[in-house]
């Protein structure tokens, strides 16, 4: 008989992470799992006995349709780092005791490279104590910075939102007969995949952004200011995409050059915000040009009305593939996507050792970034299939309807 299942969501949310939750839930149910629990706020919630019986929450086809279209983590999230095993066995004993009480044989964690650290630690401990519980990682992150996998679920929808929003910002930003400058700040931490998706805005109906700055390259403020000065003196308006993670030569983030909020999470990540504002203020005060800073911030990771159907389908598939692999005896592995064809676009799922994925950041290759502050066609071709097709929200009273777990 199939043992019980527990699933959690961890790290920053995406607009399709609940599709992965559904992939785990439906596949485990269809394959005969008796109980499927959901940890509230990830592993942190499990430690505090916070979990729900998912069958009591997701009952009808309408619930499924709504959950699929509900952005952000239905079960809540956490940024919680498990301690090293050595010297902290008590924490692990506590977790495994809780899993035993619930009769758990399969543990699924939907998250990015930090969250995969949790799967690594738990599967290492399981091996140490000869536990037969399977621990599997289900990939997600808008940042697309997970190693090994072609891309991560969540990225395509965020990229679609960014490209669509940038198109709209360009329409607005070029409207006056005098030069204005709009700087759009995009998430992604130390990887520029999301910022690069601003390039997708360019097409026969859109001029595209003027410049794109990714964190993979040192940001040279003097060069940037000289370029802005030259273009604006010629009377042109500009829309510029910058990553939240751009850094200057001495290693400081651009936003750290002015007043900023200092917040560091459990994995040592600084809260990155304010680079666009800093640059817009600098241009405004030094060049006397009208500027605006637009921080896409959390909007880019919860824009379920702009979901890519390709993304949402893959998000479901990776959840299902994790269950299949675990039920067939795998543990300590992460489901990854492998692109087997570009035209037509096609990806399959495989699994890979979590040790190669946890805590590793996959960056944009430098050869995909051009010397004139833009990105190559190769990078655009890589992203474009991931934003294809749509899934309409279920509208109630003029607004998208969501499903809430009610913590």
For residue 244, say if its preceding peptide bond is cis, omega within 30 degrees of 0: no
Task: Confirm or reject binding of residue 187 to ligand F6P (CB under 6 A).
Answer: yes
Choices 140-148, 229-237, 319-327, 393-401 (CB under 6 A): range interacting with ligand F6P: 140-148
Burial class (CB in 10 A: 0-12, 13-18, 19+), 374: buried
Structure tokens at 364: 């944009």
Among residues 143, 145, 311, 373, which one is catalytic? 143
Choices 92-100, 117-125, 137-145, 358-366 (CB under 6 A): range interacting with ligand F6P: 137-145
For residue 344, say if its preceding peptide bond is cis, omega within 30 degrees of 0: yes
* Residues between 327 and 386 with contacts to ligand F6P, criterion CB under 6 A: none
Closest-by-Cβ residue to ligand F6P is 12
Residue 339 near residue 349, CB atoms below 8 Å: no
Residue 210 near residue 283, CB atoms below 8 Å: no
Binding mask 82-121 for ligand F6P (x = CB under 6 A): ------------------------------x---------
Residue whose CB is less far from ligand F6P, 237 or 243:
243
Percent helix, strand, coil in the chain, to 5, is 40, 20, 40
Shortest Cβ distance from residue 297 to ligand F6P (Å)?
9
CA distance 79 to 266: 6
Q: Is 143 noted as a catalytic residue in this protein?
A: yes
CA distance 224 to 220: 6
Shortest Cβ distance from residue 138 to ligand F6P (Å)?
15
Query: Which residue from 143, 235, 135 is spatially nearest to 190, judged by alpha carbons?
Result: 143
Shortest Cβ distance from residue 189 to ligand F6P (Å)?
4
Shortest Cβ distance from residue 246 to ligand F6P (Å)?
13
Task: Confirm or reject binding of residue 228 to ligand F6P (CB under 6 A).
Answer: no
Residue whose CB is less far from ligand F6P, 89 or 265:
265
Length of the chain: 407
* Residues between 261 and 300 with contacts to ligand F6P, criterion CB under 6 A: 265, 271-272
Structure tokens at 2: 């199939």
Query: Which residue from 275, 271, 280 is spatially nearest to 258, judged by alpha carbons?
Result: 275
Task: Confirm or reject binding of residue 185 to ligand F6P (CB under 6 A).
Answer: no
Query: Residue from 10, 119, 143, 280 that binds ligand F6P (CB under 6 A)?
Result: 143
Residue whose CB is less far from ligand F6P, 210 or 311:
311
Residue 332 near residue 123, CB atoms below 8 Å: yes
Query: Residue from 27, 123, 141, 310 that binds ligand F6P (CB under 6 A)?
Result: 141
- By CB under 6 A, the count of residues binding ligand F6P is 15
CA distance 308 to 310: 5
Burial class (CB in 10 A: 0-12, 13-18, 19+), 366: exposed
CA distance 43 to 187: 25
Binding mask 150-169 for ligand F6P (x = CB under 6 A): --------------------
> Which active-site residues does the annotation give?
143
Residues that bind ligand F6P (CB under 6 A): 11-12, 79, 112, 141-143, 187-189, 244, 265, 271-272, 301
């Amino acid at each position: 008989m199939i043992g019980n299942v527990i699933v959690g969501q961890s790290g920053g949310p995406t607009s399709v992470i609940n599709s992965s939750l559904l992939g785990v839930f439906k596949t485990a149910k269809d394959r005969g799992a008796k109980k499927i629990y959901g940890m509230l706020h990830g592993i942190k919630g499990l430690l505090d006995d916070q979990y729900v019986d998912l069958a009591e929450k997701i009952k009808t086809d309408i619930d499924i349709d709504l959950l699929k279209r509900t952005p952000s983590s239905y079960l809540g999230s956490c940024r919680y780092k498990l301690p090293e095993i050595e010297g902290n066995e008590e924490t692990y004993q506590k977790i495994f005791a809780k899993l035993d009480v619930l009769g758990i044989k399969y543990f699924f964690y939907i998250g990015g490279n930090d969250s995969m650290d949790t799967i690594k630690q738990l599967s290492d401990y399981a091996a140490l104590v000869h536990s037969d519980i399977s621990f599997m990682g289900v990939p997600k992150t808008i940042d697309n910075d997970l190693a090994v996998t072609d891309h991560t679920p969540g990225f395509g929808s965020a990229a679609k939102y960014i490209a669509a929003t940038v198109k709209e910002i360009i329409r607005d930003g070029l409207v006056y007969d005098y030069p204005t400058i709009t700087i759009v700040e995009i998430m992604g931490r130390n990887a520029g995949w999301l910022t690069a998706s601003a390039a997708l805005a360019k097409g026969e109906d859109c001029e595209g952004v003027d410049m794109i700055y990714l964190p993979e390259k040192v940001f040279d403020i003097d060069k940037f200011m000289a370029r802005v000065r030259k273009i604006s003196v010629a009377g042109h308006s500009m829309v510029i995409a910058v990553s939240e993670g751009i850094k200057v030569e001495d290693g400081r983030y651009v936003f750290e050059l002015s007043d900023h909020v200092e917040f560091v999470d459990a994995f040592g990540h600084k809260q990155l915000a304010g680079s666009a504002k800093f640059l817009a203020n600098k241009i405004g005060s030094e060049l006397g040009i009208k500027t605006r800073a637009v921080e896409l911030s959390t909007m880019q990771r919860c824009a379920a009305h702009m979901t890519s159907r390709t993304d949402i389908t893959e998000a479901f598939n990776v959840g299902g593939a994790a269950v299949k692999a675990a039920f067939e005896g795998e543990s300590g592995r992460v489901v990854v996507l492998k692109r087997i064809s570009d035209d037509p676009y096609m990806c399959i799922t495989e699994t890979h050792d979590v040790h190669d994925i946890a805590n590793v950041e996959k960056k944009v290759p430098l050869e995909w970034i051009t010397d004139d502050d833009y990105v190559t066609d190769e990078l655009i071709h890589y992203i474009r299939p991931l934003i294809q097709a749509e899934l309409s929200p279920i509208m109630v009273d003029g607004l998208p309807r969501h499903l809430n777990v009610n913590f």
